[in-house]
Structure 1
């Protein structure tokens, strides 16, 4: 069953909980489709009055922040063993090449990598565990993590929700097929913007930084 149909079939409170749980587990380091669940829920909220975009954004932000914090603590204590296990279980996501690239980004950009990493699929999963294993200062991590989680979750929810509302209003007299095409086009536009942000973050990560970013605890 598609995610949209599955979310439509359950009560609103359970939708919020699932959004927070999936994003929290993804932020913990488990490769789940957190962004797909968030976008689908926000789109449903634009079509069903009983779903609140505000609560979707709140639960998504909370899941992102809490998940990253647990990921940080796990990475701090069990970083090397964790990455070996993740590499065995999910080689396509956490092979040595991907991990080495992510490590370079964090070593050069530190807190900025945590913030902008929320917009990049691989870094979104690895942000917490990597920051912990590299012993990034927890205060800096916490601030960057919270800001990144709120901007990513809140911004994505608001953008998709209002795109859906506008599309439905403009196309009320047209067929549902036309509405579906417009909504898909709007969501695609959001992903294009997010892809450009991700490329900008990766480009910035490749620049040299004059001083060491990571600090001892």
Structure 2
């Protein structure tokens, strides 16, 4: 079975359970095709095999619960783990300190948009927990981001209908475009902030 065929088989055979499994495990850090699973589930709903409301609710709950598990892991031992072994993934104590500063200033916004960014999506909860974001704040903004994320991909899969295979095949290519757009937006914002700072009178 190919990597692309695995989520198709899981969702086709186990329906909501397969969808919940893929989205849930991806949300607390295990590499899994969560977005693909939502698109597939919505595609099956378009053909009457599942209910689109059931797909959306299942994916939303799995995402929030999975991220919450990641948060608890990060809160209970993630900081120690990162400080001890983070250097192996280029997350040194200095970089982690900077990450804590960023999260203290922009944590809610990052949590809300993390679902749409590959890499951040998988470690969103872990990072929030390890950097000490308050639980209630994390849950609120994580739920907001998860709702938007599920709505986008469930709508895409449902509208795609018969073209679902083509959508799944192109998903990863479009993810790189999205990452590039986010990076460019971040650079533009940083440049704007720097220009404003330099233009202020002494």
Q: TM-score range by the shorter chain?
A: 0.7 to 0.9
Q: How big is the shift at 1:123?
A: 0.8
Contact 1:7 1:41 in 2 (8 A): no
Q: How big is the shift at 1:132?
A: 0.9
Q: 1:54/1:190 Cα in 2 relative to 1: closer, same or farther (>3 Å)?
A: farther
CA distance in 1 between partners of 2:86 and 2:107 (Å): 23
- Provide structure 1 residue ranges, at least 5 long, that are not aligned to the other structure: 169-179, 209-217
CA distance in 2 between partners of 1:70 and 1:8 (Å): 22
Q: Which residue of 2 aligns with 1:3?
A: 6
Of the structure 1 ranges 119-128 and 21-30, higher mean CA displacement relative to structure 2 is found in 21-30
Q: 1:190/1:157 Cα in 2 relative to 1: closer, same or farther (>3 Å)?
A: farther
What's the RMSD between the two structures over aligned residues?
A: 3.6
- Provide structure 2 residue ranges, at least 5 long, that are not aligned to the other structure: 194-202
Of the structure 1 ranges 73-82 and 142-151, higher mean CA displacement relative to structure 2 is found in 73-82
Report the TM-score, using the length of structure 2 for normalisation. 0.72
Q: How big is the shift at 1:134?
A: 1.0
CA distance in 2 between partners of 1:8 and 1:135 (Å): 35
Q: How big is the shift at 1:188?
A: 7.5
Of the structure 1 ranges 127-136 and 17-26, higher mean CA displacement relative to structure 2 is found in 17-26
Report the TM-score, using the length of structure 1 for normalisation. 0.68
Q: Which has the higher helix share?
A: 2
CA distance in 2 between partners of 1:73 and 1:62 (Å): 16
The DSSP-based 3-state class of the residue aligned with 1:118 is helix
Encode CA deviations 1:110-141: one digit per residue, 9 max, x unaligned.
Answer: 10000001111111111111111111122211
